[in-house]
């Protein structure tokens, strides 16, 4: 069975380059100019897509939570609802960001945190939808978005395997074009909580959907491990400056980090190879210098019968390799040899050559 996600005119399968999502989230700090700069930077870094998060805060939060005092060094307003409202983009900003992303050939899409936000994005004809980890158990929202018929990517932070199965079985009959991401919803999580082997678990349990990793750690190495384990979608938070005000900047990648991640993921795909062990042309010259050949350990007269004391392995290679030592023992030399002179195939009697090749002397 071939697993694949069709997204933005691109097919993401086990043999393709990794699909790298630069998660802008609210790292734009409510400023369109900063958001557009993030899109430009993500494109320059080689990302596949940029993503926002869409919330209808009045619909999403209870009145108590919306009106709660927000005492935080990262607060943009005195209450949590006002803080969230300041960071929220509307239609004009979304259209501007989509146009900028399209100019760069980037896919632009968003997470929908609630039904009104899903409708907002649907009205804009978003090419794909993200389901946040917090909505893994929100089957009504998941199936509502699945009904749009667009590619879906579901994060699984904080969930159990039963939660993931429930979401999979809810979406699969409605919209089979979706992916599941291993995620740990710490910001950032401890490394022992990343549990990257879940990627293999997901690949075994869900062989018909693409698997990925939403990685909230602050480096790039774990994403590469995820790729080796089978993740073909990598989502990383992205910022212009990790010292900026906001909860997500500290564990986000800056330009250099995202560029290196994209570069290394491309190298990883090429480097994985086909699993067939072979000798490459580029190895021949170095190996001739490093490998060893069987040579005379001292001057030897004609007619001498070779013993282990007469033969030694020395560099360079290119002549009889050391594993042929047994073929030389007991051979009578037809001509004298000087110290360090390499032994040759023709010095071995024909029957011994055939035996070494696994054939017959007849």
Flag whether 222 is in a domain.
Answer: yes
The model's pLDDT over 232-283, given as tens digits with 9 standing for 90+, comes to 999 999 999 999 999 899 999 999 999 999 999 999 999 999 999 999 999 9
Same domain, 252 and 299: no
User: How far is 29 from 315, CA to CA, in rounded Å?
Assistant: 63
**Residue 128 burial by CB count (10 A; 0-12/13-18/19+): exposed, middle or buried?**
buried
Flag whether 72 is in a domain.
Answer: yes
**Residue 82 burial by CB count (10 A; 0-12/13-18/19+): exposed, middle or buried?**
middle
- pTM, two decimals, is 0.88
**Residue 287 burial by CB count (10 A; 0-12/13-18/19+): exposed, middle or buried?**
middle
Same domain, 214 and 329: no
What the block records as the tokens of 38 is: 């993030």
DSSP 253: B
CATH number at residue 98: 3.20.20.70
Domain-terminating residue out of 232, 248, 272:
272
* Domain tally, the chain: 2
Same domain, 38 and 110: yes
Same domain, 264 and 294: no
Same domain, 316 and 217: no
**Can you give the residue range of the structural domain that contains 297?**
287-356
Domain-terminating residue out of 212, 237, 272:
272
Question: What residues does 302 pair with on adjacent strands?
Answer: none
User: How far is 70 from 72, CA to CA, in rounded Å?
Assistant: 6
Give yes or no for a contact between 291 and 271, defined as CB atoms under 8 angstroms apart. no
Flag whether 361 is in a domain.
Answer: no
Same domain, 241 and 351: no
User: How far is 43 from 253, CA to CA, in rounded Å?
Assistant: 14
Same domain, 45 and 191: yes
Same domain, 150 and 200: yes
Give yes or no for a contact between 287 and 40, defined as CB atoms under 8 angstroms apart. no
Same domain, 235 and 177: yes
User: How far is 282 from 139, CA to CA, in rounded Å?
Assistant: 54
Domain-terminating residue out of 244, 272, 300:
272
User: How far is 55 from 42, CA to CA, in rounded Å?
Assistant: 23
Flag whether 280 is in a domain.
Answer: no
CATH number at residue 314: 3.90.1210.10
Q: What is the pLDDT along the chain (362 residues), one digit of tens a residue?
A: 789 999 999 999 999 999 999 999 999 999 999 999 999 999 999 999 999 999 999 999 999 999 999 999 999 999 999 999 999 999 999 999 999 999 999 999 999 999 999 999 999 999 999 999 999 999 999 999 999 999 999 999 999 999 999 999 999 999 999 999 999 998 888 899 999 999 999 999 999 999 999 998 989 999 999 999 999 999 999 999 999 999 899 999 999 999 999 999 999 999 999 999 999 999 999 999 999 999 999 999 999 999 999 999 999 999 999 999 999 999 999 999 999 999 999 999 875 554 555 544 44
Same domain, 216 and 267: yes
Flag whether 281 is in a domain.
Answer: no
Flag whether 298 is in a domain.
Answer: yes
Same domain, 266 and 317: no
Flag whether 149 is in a domain.
Answer: yes
Flag whether 44 is in a domain.
Answer: yes
Give yes or no for a contact between 229 and 221, defined as CB atoms under 8 angstroms apart. no
Same domain, 252 and 344: no
User: How far is 69 from 82, CA to CA, in rounded Å?
Assistant: 10
């Amino acid at each position: 069975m071939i697993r694949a996600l069709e997204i933005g005119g691109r097919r993401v399968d086990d043999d393709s380059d990794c699909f790298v999502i630069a998660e802008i989230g609210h790292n734009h700090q409510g400023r369109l100019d900063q958001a557009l700069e993030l899109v430009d930077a993500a494109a320059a870094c080689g990302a596949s897509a940029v993503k926002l998060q869409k919330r209808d805060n009045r619909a999403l939060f209870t009145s108590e939570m919306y009106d709660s005092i927000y005492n935080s060094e990262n607060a943009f307003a005195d209450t949590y609802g006002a803080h969230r409202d300041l960071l929220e983009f509307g239609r004009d900003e979304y259209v501007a960001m989509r146009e900028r992303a399209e100019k760069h050939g980037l896919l632009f899409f968003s997470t929908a945190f609630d039904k009104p936000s899903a409708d907002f994005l649907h009205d804009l004809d978003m090419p794909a939808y993200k389901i946040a980890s917090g909505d893994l158990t929100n089957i009504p929202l998941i199936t509502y978005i699945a009904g749009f018929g667009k590619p879906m990517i579901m994060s699984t932070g904080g969930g159990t395997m039963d939660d993931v199965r429930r979401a999979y079985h809810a979406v699969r009959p409605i919209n089979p074009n979706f992916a599941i991401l291993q995620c740990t919803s710490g910001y950032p999580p401890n490394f022992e909580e990343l549990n990257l082997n879940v990627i293999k678990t997901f690949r075994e349990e869900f062989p018909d959907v693409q698997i990925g990793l939403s990685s909230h750690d602050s480096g790039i190495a774990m994403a590469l491990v995820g790729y080796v384990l089978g993740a073909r979608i990598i989502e990383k938070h992205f910022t212009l400056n990790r010292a900026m005000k906001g909860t997500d900047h500290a564990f986000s990648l800056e330009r250099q980090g995202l560029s290196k991640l994209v570069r290394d993921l491309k190298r990883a795909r090429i480097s994985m190879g086909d699993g067939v062990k072979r000798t490459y042309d580029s190895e021949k010259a170095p190996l001739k210098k490093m490998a060893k050949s069987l040579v005379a350990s001292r001057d030897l007269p004609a007619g001498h019968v070779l013993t282990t004391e007469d033969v030694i392995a020395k560099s360079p290679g290119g002549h009889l390799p050391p594993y042929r030592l047994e073929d030389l023992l007991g051979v009578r030399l037809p001509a004298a040899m000087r110290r360090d002179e390499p032994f040759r195939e023709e010095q071995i009697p024909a029957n011994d050559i055939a035996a070494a090749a696994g054939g017959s002397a007849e």
